[in-house]
Amino acid sequence: MVGAATKAGHGKAHKKPLYSILYVQVLAAILIGGVLGWLSPEIATNDWIKALGDGFIKLIKMVIAPIIFFTVVSGIAHIQDAKKVGRVGIKALLYFEVVSTFALVIGLIVGNLFQVGHGIGAKPDLAAVAGFAKQAAAQKSVDFVLNIIPDSVVGAFARGDILQVLLFAILFGFALMILGERGRTVRNLIDDLAHGMFGVIAIIMKAAPFGAFGAMAFTIGKYGPAALGNLLGLIALFYLTAALFIFVVLGSIARIVGFNIFRYLAYIKDELLIVLGTSSSESALPQLMEKLERLGCSKSVVGLVVPTGYSFNLDGTNIYMTLTTLFIAQAMGVDLSFGQQMTILIVAMLTSKGASGVTGAGFITLAATLTVVNPALVPGMAIVFSIDKFMSECRALTNISGNGVATIVVSWWEGELDRNKLNRAMGREVDPSDVETAVTTG
């Protein structure tokens, strides 16, 4: 990412063989994994198959903390004006809140228009959701704020807590900025270490097809194709609502900034397919940051907005919470007043913060929302428990799409969006999947 470069030469990138393109490999792996899970669930649910998906996610999570630390420190340390950091942060948070509100409102509107929860007749299983409800009950706003401060710096890195690492990185970056010329050696070291970490990412990404294969095979093998048909109305409605948000809301924002949302999605198709296979938007975080800088976004903006967005800009999770809360209320025959639905907006805006792209986090935040809005709805979580895995993919896809757009918007807002790089990337004059070249030549 740091000093990112495109393929050598000024013309269009040479075409690579189809089988060597990452997104083709991942897509093929997802399809093969799905077929295996369908035809041979006993093999697909083998611990070693599951380990392929879990192992890939662990490899990515292994480098997330250092990647965020190095990129944020480097971005801040190279800024001459300390006020810029605060300005970028305020702009990012303002954008997050406005767009998140749109996501929550769209979920409420669609949930009221298409009341697919009525007549389900499902009986909730208290035992199935007891663990999630317990975790949700333990969440308090003050605890969330205090948890941003790590007990120790080493502990923050060991746990991979994004917000804690982000806080320390901001403080360390400011310290290097204040040191000025005396901090040059450390700044150069941080930049070199960032190069090294993205080299590690380039190696790890070669395992992406195996991770996607294992995750998809185990999911279909465990839950069965019938699970995809179970509560199909909610799954379809959620995917359609997320698509509406991406193409209409984010598409309109993209148009204002001056790029095409479809071309942007095509640019990050590798990351989208990795997220689809792993159900975690964190699995593509490092590569997304590298690509956004190559797209023309300022290094300092990428380093601040993307990690922050993974905790404060979860559009897919927001849509999921409002839509699913209404679905559960309808399924249980509980009428929610206008006031209660407005409460959902406020509560969901708070409970979604800190719900990173890890699989299952959205289900815990749903429990936290239901607990505050109407505790009688908490047992209804079991109604959607069996299909949550298939909804988590959509949450993650929407989250990563929204965070990329947010970074471009803030770069544009700051006047630091390189239009030449943006147009070349969107026009496919460079190969966005060639991460290794970008890392080794950067």
310 assigned to some structural domain: yes
Q: How far apart are CA 439 and CA 442, in angstroms?
A: 5
Model pTM above 0.75: no
Structural domain includes residue 420: yes
In a domain, 128, yes or no: yes
Per-residue pLDDT, 436: 47
Which pLDDT score is estimated for 119? 60
**CATH number assigned to the domain comprising residue 39:** 1.10.3860.10
pLDDT at 110: 92
Asked whether the beta carbons of 431 and 13 are under 8 A apart, the reply is yes
Token look-up 């001459």 returns 80
Token pair, residue 98, equals 């406005």
pLDDT digits (tens, 9 = 90+) for 188-228: 898 888 888 878 877 887 888 888 888 778 877 876 665 44
In a domain, 11, yes or no: no
The tens-digit pLDDT sequence of the chain (442 residues) is 444 444 434 444 456 677 677 777 888 888 898 889 888 888 888 888 888 888 887 887 787 788 878 877 877 777 666 677 788 888 988 999 899 999 999 999 998 898 777 665 445 555 555 555 555 555 555 665 777 788 888 888 888 777 788 789 888 988 888 887 888 899 889 888 888 887 887 788 788 888 888 877 887 787 666 544 445 778 889 999 999 999 999 999 999 999 999 999 999 988 898 888 777 777 788 889 889 999 999 888 888 888 888 777 889 888 988 998 888 888 777 788 888 888 888 877 766 664 554 445 566 667 767 776 777 777 777 667 656 667 778 888 999 999 999 999 999 999 989 999 998 888 765 555 555 444 443 4
* Predicted local distance difference test score (pLDDT) of residue 403: 93
| 2 within a domain of the structure (yes/no) | no
Give the number of domains in the chain: 1
Q: Is residue 247 part of a domain?
A: yes
- Token pair 């041979």 in the structure block, residue: 40
Looking at the domain assignment, is residue 70 inside a domain? yes
Domain of 38 in residue numbering reads as: 18-441
Say if 5 falls within a structural domain.
no
